[in-house]
Chain A
Amino acid sequence: KQEVTQIPAALSVPEGENLVLNCSFTDSAIYNLQWFRQDPGKGLTSLLLIQSSQREQTSGRLNASLDKSSGRSTLYIAASQPGDSATYLCAVTWGAQKLVFGQGTRLTINP
């Protein structure tokens, strides 16, 4: 079964720290992997999309990496700010052409 797992479910860090969020998936034959941000009671905002042939993508203070062989992706956030507080969701597209989501990591940045 194709599954996506995000651990931990919640993470709290002081402002200014660099941090890493983890995502693992069960089948390495992915088409792409996406990271989303969700604020409480809101929809999802796409952060980064990594195609199967790519190893990483960067946008501002965010960097997402992909290691298909180990079934893992990480989202690196540099110099964290209170505004980064949100739930971060990882989602994978396999051959069935639909997104499978992880349960998310709820991130809190403490001023």
Chain B
Amino acid sequence: DGGITQSPKYLFRKEGQNVTLSCEQNLNHDAMYWYRQDPGQGLRLIYYSQIVNDFQKGDIAEGYSVSREKKESFPLTVTSAQKNPTAFYLCASSTGQKETQYFGPGTRLLVL
């Protein structure tokens, strides 16, 4: 089955800890994205990547980092600099930046 997988489904972070959210796709898509969703708000773009070994900041990149070493994978690290990390994180991919985006099931990050 082709699709996008995200793990874990739930993630707990302690104060001062960095955590990494996984996103994998087997759709052979070039572009991948990370969004953050807060209650009552739409999705906001954190980072996006158009191609392997390249990525750009979105609207709310502060406190986050990414890598794109493989076409299939686009992990997101939530660093200790992100002071309000509790949110629902969604990963997406597409054939190109202006094409339909396909979303993973999401990871809910909670702070202990």
Contacts and interface: CB of A to CB of B under 8 A. Distances in A.
Nearest to B88: A41
B105 A43 contact: yes
Interface residues of A, number: 23
A44 B108 CA distance: 14
Nearest to B41: A103
Contacts of B101: 34, 44, 46, 99
B11 interface: no
The prevalent SS among residues of B at the interface is: strand
Interface residues on B, range: 20 to 34
A98 B49 CA distance: 11
A61 interface: no
A98 B45 contact: yes
Interface of A: 4, 9, 31-32, 34, 36, 41-46, 49, 89, 91, 93, 97-99, 101-104
